[in-house]
Amino acid sequence: MEGGVSARGLSTDLRTGLAFCTRLPFVSGAATGSEVARASWTFPVVGAVIGLIGALAYWLGDKMGLPPFVAATLAVAATMLATGCLHEDGLADTVDGFGGGGTAERKLEIMRDSRIGTYGASALILSLMLRAGAIASLAEPHLVMSALFAAHAGARATLPVFMRRAPLARPDGLSAGAGRPPSGTPTIAVLLGLVALLIGLGFGGALIAASLLVLGVGLLAWIAIRQVGGQTGDVLGAVEQAGEILILLVAASWL
């Protein structure tokens, strides 16, 4: 796919996006290298699926009579199970590296370390609490479904833009292996993300969420460039988590 999405490669890209972003049992094969960059336009679509999985978990918890916060925790757990904690791992590694290293080289070294430190653990706790709290505040299952649909699709729509625009922090690793998405891919992802925000949050909520995403992603890009010189796979995970939290907070206040 060069400069857009071809009908012939549609199903292949969807399978690649699902294989990369999820650990769903019906998805087979591995997605690596340039396939991921080419298929990154599907990230919002895959995100919508993940959000609906979380919404189903919340609905089941609500039907069992569980309190909203417990049902919300189950919803977050379901999305983490669906993704294999892909983005949570990136968030923890990024915050550990940015907070614990003195030089860019040392920060990147810490980010490669599979062990989690105090900064990373704190970031994960805050992420989980903010997401579960925002979901619980909505209470009604249909509102939770709208919020999770918008949050998971909208947050992942920012990733192809970040992948194309932000410089690489190192010559190897996930981001370097994937490379930059084709020129039309970020535009398609953004349009899909905006549609998801409109469906989930309405026009006013979508406008607020999109504005915050632009500011948030821009700020994270600036921080990543100052800290380590640009993007890594871990930084992309942190971008997704930040976007997800921002959209859920908008949903909690707007819906």
Express each pLDDT in 130-166 by its tens digit: 999 999 999 999 999 999 999 999 999 999 999 999 9
Q: What is the mean pLDDT of residues 14-40?
A: 83
Q: What is the mean pLDDT of residues 211-223?
A: 97
Residues 168-210: pLDDT tens digits? 998 776 666 667 898 899 999 999 999 999 999 999 999 999 9
Quickly count: other Cβ atoms within 10 Å of residue 5's Cβ: 17
Check pLDDT > 50 for residue 5.
no
* pTM attached to this predicted model: 0.93
What is the residue-wise DSSP string for 212-253? HHHHHHHHHHHHHHHHHSSB-HHHHHHHHHHHHHHHHHHHHH
| The length of the chain, given as a count of residues | 255
- Predicted pLDDT at 3: 43
Say how far apart CA 245 and CA 162 lie, in whole Å.
17
Q: Check if the beta carbon of residue 206 is closer than 8 Å to that of residue 247.
A: no
Among 78-82, 125-129, 166-170, where is mean pLDDT lowest? 166-170
Q: What is the mean pLDDT of residues 102-118?
A: 93
Say how far apart CA 248 and CA 254 lie, in whole Å.
10
Say how far apart CA 198 and CA 183 lie, in whole Å.
24
Q: What is the mean pLDDT of residues 72-96?
A: 97
